[in-house]
């Protein structure tokens, strides 16, 4: 993410400097209520929309992976979820 922040800061016109990192977005939000977290996490933890500072375009993205045991991933309900998610993300 640090490389993407550096690259996109040229387009944004300002720089975000990474001073510390944690592996949990929830921890970042709970610790100081200041941090770079996905909008959904901020909403889920009760951060009000007017408290958010949105980054300008282009926004940051992160990959999402579906991980599980082969037997679980082959279940029809999981396959349906996977296909629905892929369709939704194409839109």
Encode pLDDT of 14-40 as tens digits: 887 777 776 777 776 666 566 777 888
pLDDT at 88 over 70: yes
Question: If you average pLDDT over every residue of the chain, what do you get?
Answer: 82
Neighbouring C-alpha atoms within 13 Å toward the C-beta of 54: 10
Burial status of residue 28 (CB atoms within 10 A of its CB: 0-12, 13-18, 19 or more): buried
In this structure, are residues 18 and 5 in contact, taking their beta carbons and an 8 Å threshold? yes
**Can you give the pLDDT at residue 21?**
76
Distance CA 55, CA 70 (A): 38
């Amino acid at each position: 993410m640090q490389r993407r922040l550096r690259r996109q800061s040229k387009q944004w016109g300002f720089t975000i400097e990474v001073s510390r990192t944690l592996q949990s977005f929830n921890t970042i939000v709970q610790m100081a209520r200041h941090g770079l977290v996905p909008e959904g996490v901020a909403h889920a933890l009760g951060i009000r929309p007017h408290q958010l500072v949105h980054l300008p375009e282009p926004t940051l993205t992160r990959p999402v992976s579906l991980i599980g045991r082969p037997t679980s991933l082959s279940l029809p309900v999981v396959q349906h979820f996977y296909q629905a998610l892929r369709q939704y993300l194409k839109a």
